[in-house]
Structure 1
Amino acid sequence: MALLIIKIAVTLATVLALAWLAERLSTRVAGVLAGFPLGTGVALFFLGYEQGPAFAADAARGTLLGFIGAQALALAFAASAGQNRIKTLVLSLLAFVVVALPLSLLDLPLWAALLASIAFTLVAHRLMRHLADTAITLKRRPGWGVHIARGVISGLIVVGITSAGYWGTAALSGVLAAFPVTFFPLLAIIFWQHGPAPAQTLVKHYPAGLGSLITHTVAVFWLYPLIGVYWGTLGALALATLWSFGWLAWQRRNALA
């Protein structure tokens, strides 16, 4: 129970921080950082803690394929975002389910899963690069009701998805761990409060943020069996951090050039 509370608390704090960042700094930056492996990292950590490092490392192969489903979610949102918010969010969730669950039946080696994940990331990035970068104009600071709503939305998704990640095979657990636990609540919050344009900015930059997740997941595959769950998690997060800030620095340099 204590571990479950820690998992929920960390994820909720991340969602709230990213939403705050998007409102006050940049939806582009928030979109990239939304790919940081906190939701997925927590899920893989708990799989390793409860079922062993080998199980989590095996699940990591499924997680790489699950990222294809996560990007299908982003693409479905970009294509359907409009005034009907509930329909758009439901279609996005269905896109993840329809794409990700069949992928959990595949038993691909790491290199094949990695190549498939990278290839789809490049495709998704290309398909959404035409979307405009739209900043959020904050007319007034969110009240306590907004913060409570954010907590409820993200909390329900965290409990449902990460709990489901402990059922079934390692491949199924890995694919479910790829669900964008922090990104989707953030996307729903921005979409619901500020409309489709800023939310589409988030999904536009989400594939770039997935570089961090892919780096983390490959590191989990190699490090968990070698140095264990704790040190393996620290090492994987360190590599993911290098990717995230390296990508942002590269984008900034290109923007100034």
Structure 2
Amino acid sequence: MAGRVEGKIALVTGGAMGLGKADCEMLAAEGARVIVTDRECEQAHKVAERIGGDAMALDVKSEEQWQEVLKAVEERHGGLDILVNNAGNVIFESVEDSSLKNFKLHMAIHVEGTFLGCKYAIPLMKNRGGASIVNMASTAALMGYGNIVAYTAAKGAIRAMTRSIAMHCQDEGYGIRCNAIAPGGIETPMVRDISGRGGEELMEIPDGPLPADALGAPKDVAAAVLYLASDESRFVNGIVIPVDNGLDARPHH
């Protein structure tokens, strides 16, 4: 039986570790040829070698690097079917604590990186018989967190930009859908480090239902990425899917 994204060409940013790595692994397992991109080029190559994909160095803040990477993708593969804008960072600072430099860094990585990826990938994704852009937002775009002002602003921008891009591609008849995922707390190296467990082994997240306060596993987000990347979601466009174990739905007092 063919995989759910069999024969599709996929590019994932921030694919060397965490959510991006899980996305790469799941897309490859379901038949996609995956281009793993990251600033950590050595780690990206290890992931690509393990899944039978390609690896390229990419700093998502760089317009020139985006152009170079997508030119190489077009030359090697003739086009692109799936773009996952996953690369990100987070610095815990309130509006009073945050420096303008750190605020701009979040905007450059999350917002400009996603913008550049979409802008330069869309010409490679037109008329592929159904292509998909998956942007990584966050529950921080849906809720109020006082201690991550730059991160919440950036993820909120991604949420809004996703809808605009979806409607543009639909209006132009490109056959490209654009959706976003809003993960809650997921056990990744970044979450481990910012929760004061730096250097520790990542926790094993058990299978089956999880309690309300549990962290999720990267594969929980990767499964949503796979659905949005596949033709199964052909009628899903311009939305944000929370993958948060009900966090956004739960009343807070």
TM-score, normalization by structure 1:
0.34
Larger relative contact order, structure 1 or 2 (CA cutoff 8 Å, min sep 6): 1
Between Structure 1 and Structure 2, which shows a larger proportion of strand residues? 2
Between Structure 1 and Structure 2, which shows a larger proportion of helix residues? 1
TM-score, normalization by structure 2:
0.35
